[in-house]
Structure 1
């Protein structure tokens, strides 16, 4: 284990948006951890994950004798355990807003998840965007614009400095790139595109992408025998 005693159990980096969220938060905050990988979309995947997490889903954080098995719960746990990292904003109004939009991301946007699943390394043509998906994209853009306008003066992220809210929305930035979403067509004034660019430019995102590429090379080598 890492010196903190943390092991983060994650799925494939190309596909697992929920794994990306706590991984990114821990990397961005400089919280050391060991990484344990479970390959997704295999017959044995569920049983493999159940060895680590009672939910049968990734991510799961092992912290000493405890297991935290929900992505947002992991982020909350880390914010409590490492208050010096300021994973939630210090200002009470900003912190309440950050938690609200994170919970909205956690519970909502089912159409986006279903119709634009995370496929980090792919570059695909934009699919047909029906009313339900368009409504969710507009809502995301509105969230980003409001957070940046109210709280984002101190840096390029939603609340200036990186917070758990950015970890929650980072997979959306990758989806917009994968599916060539023209955010201007959904009311963006440049704020959303600039924010997505800032997320995608993070060194931790580059490291996650390198990991996804390494996994893909490994799969190809395995297929060749």
Structure 2
């Protein structure tokens, strides 16, 4: 059986991606949750099951093979499931989906720093900084392009739920938690992601966690 090691469900955005990918695969997997950045973390991250990724989560174990980084986990699970569950089958749609996923993986740093994921909180709304607003505008543009060109009658970016939705799910969570302003078309997509049964399961599990990391609990201040 596959084993997926993830961090706190309240805070770990990359873990959410890996977990959604494991759920999307339809394959059975063992889930192991570790508490990030507590007093035991320096010792815990050096243990053999986390050492290959230098303590990064999520990390997926397939027998003796370790796979880390969310996109790598998605592609490994895509290989295991015959290339039918994650990326669009249409070549042009797949190219856009992969580009959007890669841009999410490497970009939107201002949004990620200003609004760390916290699935247990709804913060008071404040005006985002110009950098965060630029990130949100770019994200909304990408969502609109995918939905207009390939969304069809489905609720998600490329119609059916897939890899691109997995990569943007933590952004959706941030938009909700920080009450960030997005256009109406983006709000409809946010609502669809938040209503997905796996997102609901993840958020419910986060409410049951005892761990509190103060650096992710601070009320944000208004931007420039």
Report the TM-score when normalising by structure 2.
Answer: 0.89
Question: Of residues 23, 26, 31 in structure 1, which corresponds to 2:27?
Answer: 31
Task: Give 3-state SS (helix, strand or coil) of 2:209's partner.
Answer: helix
Q: Distance in 2 between matches of 1:14 and 1:144?
A: 25
Which residue number corresponds to residue 197 of structure 1? 191
Q: Distance in 2 between matches of 1:167 and 1:50?
A: 28
Aligned ranges for residues 48-197 of structure 1 at < 5 Å? 48-51=44-47, 52-53=49-50, 54=52, 55-83=54-82, 85-183=84-182, 188=183, 190-197=184-191
Q: Distance in 1 between matches of 2:36 and 2:118?
A: 13
> Is the 1:29–1:85 Cα contact (8 Å) retained in structure 2?
no
Gaps of 5+ in 1: 220-225
Give CA-to-partner distance per residue, 1:182-202, whole Å, 9 cap, x none.
Answer: 21xxxx2x2210111000001
Q: Distance in 1 between matches of 2:179 and 2:24?
A: 26
Report the TM-score when normalising by structure 1.
Answer: 0.88
Q: Distance in 1 between matches of 2:99 and 2:83?
A: 21
Task: Give 3-state SS (helix, strand or coil) of 1:62's partner.
Answer: strand
Shift of 1:49: 2.6
Identify the range of structure 1 (119-128 vs 197-206) with the bigger mean alpha-carbon deviation. 119-128
Task: Give 3-state SS (helix, strand or coil) of 2:152's partner.
Answer: helix
Which residue number corresponds to residue 206 of structure 1? 200
Task: Give 3-state SS (helix, strand or coil) of 2:4's partner.
Answer: strand
Q: Distance in 2 between matches of 1:107 and 1:131?
A: 19
> Is the 1:154–1:161 Cα contact (8 Å) retained in structure 2?
no
Shift of 1:20: 0.3
Q: Distance in 1 between matches of 2:99 and 2:122?
A: 31
Task: Give 3-state SS (helix, strand or coil) of 2:28's partner.
Answer: coil
Gaps of 5+ in 2: 213-224
Give CA-to-partner distance per residue, 1:187-220, whole Å, 9 cap, x none.
Answer: x2x221011100000110111112111113x77x
Give CA-to-partner distance per residue, 1:107-148, whole Å, 9 cap, x none.
Answer: 001111100000111010123412111100100000111100
RMSD: 1.5
Shift of 1:83: 2.1
Give CA-to-partner distance per residue, 1:33-63, whole Å, 9 cap, x none.
Answer: 1101110121322431332232211100000
Q: Distance in 2 between matches of 1:28 and 1:207?
A: 14
